[in-house]
Amino acid sequence: MIVGIPREIKTDESRVAMTPFGVEELTHAGHRVLVQSGAGEGSGISDQDYERAGAELIPEAATVWQQAEMIVKVKEPLPMEWPHLRAGQVLFTYFHFAADEHLTKAVMQSGAIAIAYETIRDAKGTLPLLTPMSEVAGRMSIQEGAKYLERPFQGRGILLGGVPGVAPANVVVLGGGIVGANAAKVAAGLGARVSLLDVNLDRLRYLDDVMPRNVQTLYSDRHTILDCISRADLVVGAVLIPGARAPRLVRRDDLKRMPPRSVIIDVAIDQGGCIETSRPTTHSEPIYIIDDVIHYCVTNMPGAVGRTSTYALTNVTIPYALQLANHGWERAMQRNPGLAEGLNIASGKIVNKAVAATFGYEAA
Ligand SMILES: NC(=O)C1=CN([C@@H]2O[C@H](COP(=O)(O)OP(=O)(O)OC[C@H]3O[C@@H](n4cnc5c(N)ncnc54)[C@H](O)[C@@H]3O)[C@@H](O)[C@H]2O)C=CC1
Ligand SMILES: CC(=O)C(=O)O
């Protein structure tokens, strides 16, 4: 198979979808890998590194898209990439369709085969291709939150850990999955008082066992959310219903209860965000303020730490890319039902039930 790795074009995205190790694995298995020149730059991987691994360097994105039978990417195709999509071509990347109806329609119209990293499952039922980026974003959410709580960044001037004689910050984490657990762990490590909310009681029991004593686990109902945010210096949005649009747990009216210049980091923005007032932002312009509450809603948080993130991501994607290249997408999915969960759109039809329900379609 011919596999194409275009350079990522999303604003401030420094990841690349394949490392030289991945190229080696594919070429040793008899596949051709076309890498767009400069694709690895943001992650500190040179064209020569790719060439040594057996890749063919291609200057133009259009040629990579044209020649490849499977495109492996990091982020969803952007509008300027849509004209490249074509029937039967496999696209293997993050899509987050539920947050973007235009993208959904463009991919349907193209007839391409969209296999979304974020809905592939492993034998334990977890989301192995989302996990590493959620680990990065969860840890980063506290780093970013701490920064925007500083006065020069417009925050309320609060140090997460406090100091002897002065109370630490209150951090509220909505969703206790991978993002939430990583956020809670880092916030607790810095000395903050952390409230970690989820609707899955088994998950809360587990978190209660493993988290330090300054993390309190709470059932996520409306009353508890309102109570927590009224004291919150920092709120992290980390809920997920795989494939679906994120539930809106904090409404516009609720912002009035939050302390002035408190900070929301809505990590779940890639699925539409779990705060009513969230809208996508970029690393270049990460925040905006509504009702005196700072909103940070960057859709590609791991893109800021490209080197760490590229390696963390490709550690998990390469085995699946190999299965797709070795067997073709249909046979690979017959052999691996967890990979089949990644099929979101095929030949013009939405296959993923949660994505179809978001836009009022019947899943094929
Ligand atoms: N902005 C960015 O750059 C990035 C965003 N993400 C996103 O972060 C979100 C979270 O991802 P993960 O932690 O990996 O998902 P996960 O599936 O590990 O955890 C989600 C948690 O939300 C909980 N949940 C569902 N409904 C809830 C509710 N009403 N109240 C409280 N908890 C609820 C679930 O029980 C689950 O424990 C996803 O949308 C993911 O795509 C992940 C990485 C990077
Ligand atoms: C999960 C995702 O969308 C990202 O890492 O950018």
CA of residue 230 to ligand 1 center, whole Å = 22
For the chain, give the percent of residues with pLDDT over 90: 99
Q: State the pLDDT at residue 57.
A: 98
Place of tokens 């085969």: 113
Radius of gyration of the chain (CA): 21
Pocket flag, ligand 1, residue 132 (CB < 6 Å): no
Say whether pTM exceeds 0.90.
yes
CATH T-level topology, domain 2-120+306-358: Rossmann fold (3.40.50)
Classify domain 131-299 by CATH number.
Answer: 3.40.50.720
* Binding-site residue set for substrate: 15, 75
Whether residue 194 contacts residue 218, with contact meaning beta carbons closer than 8 Å, is answered with: no
Pocket flag, ligand 1, residue 220 (CB < 6 Å): yes
Alpha-carbon dihedral 47, 52, 53, 57, rounded to 10 degrees: 40
Whether residue 267 contacts residue 179, with contact meaning beta carbons closer than 8 Å, is answered with: yes
Domain locations in the chain as residue ranges: 2-120+306-358, 131-299
Catalytic residues: 96, 270
Angle formed by the axes of helices 20-28 and 306-327, to 10°? 10
Residue nearest to atom 42 of ligand 1 (CA): 134
Q: State the pLDDT at residue 337.
A: 97
3-state DSSP call for residue 163?
A: strand
State the ligand closest to the CA atom of 301.
Answer: 1
Pocket flag, ligand 1, residue 74 (CB < 6 Å): no
Q: Do domains 2-120+306-358 and 131-299 have the same CATH topology?
A: yes
CA of residue 107 to ligand 1 center, whole Å = 24
CA of residue 268 to ligand 1 center, whole Å = 6
* Positions in the chain whose pLDDT score sits under 50: none
Alpha-carbon distance of 319 to 25, in angstroms, equals: 9
Scanning 125-240, the segments in alpha helix (DSSP H) are 131-148, 178-189, 201-210, 222-229
Q: DSSP of 7-21, one letter per residue?
A: PP-STT----S--HH
Which ligand 1 atom is at minimum distance from the Cα of 249?
A: 29
Pocket of ligand 2 (CB under 6 A): 94, 96, 130, 133, 270, 300, 302
- What is the complex's ipTM, to 2 decimals? 0.99
Alpha-carbon distance of 88 to 328, in angstroms, equals: 11
- What would the two tokens of residue 238 be? 């980390």
Q: State the pLDDT at residue 39.
A: 98
Alpha-carbon distance of 213 to 193, in angstroms, equals: 9
Residues with Cβ within 8 Å of residue 191, at least 6 apart in sequence: 160, 161, 162, 168, 214
Alpha-carbon distance of 54 to 75, in angstroms, equals: 24
Beta bridge partners of 360: none
CA of residue 314 to ligand 1 center, whole Å = 21
Q: State the pLDDT at residue 152.
A: 98
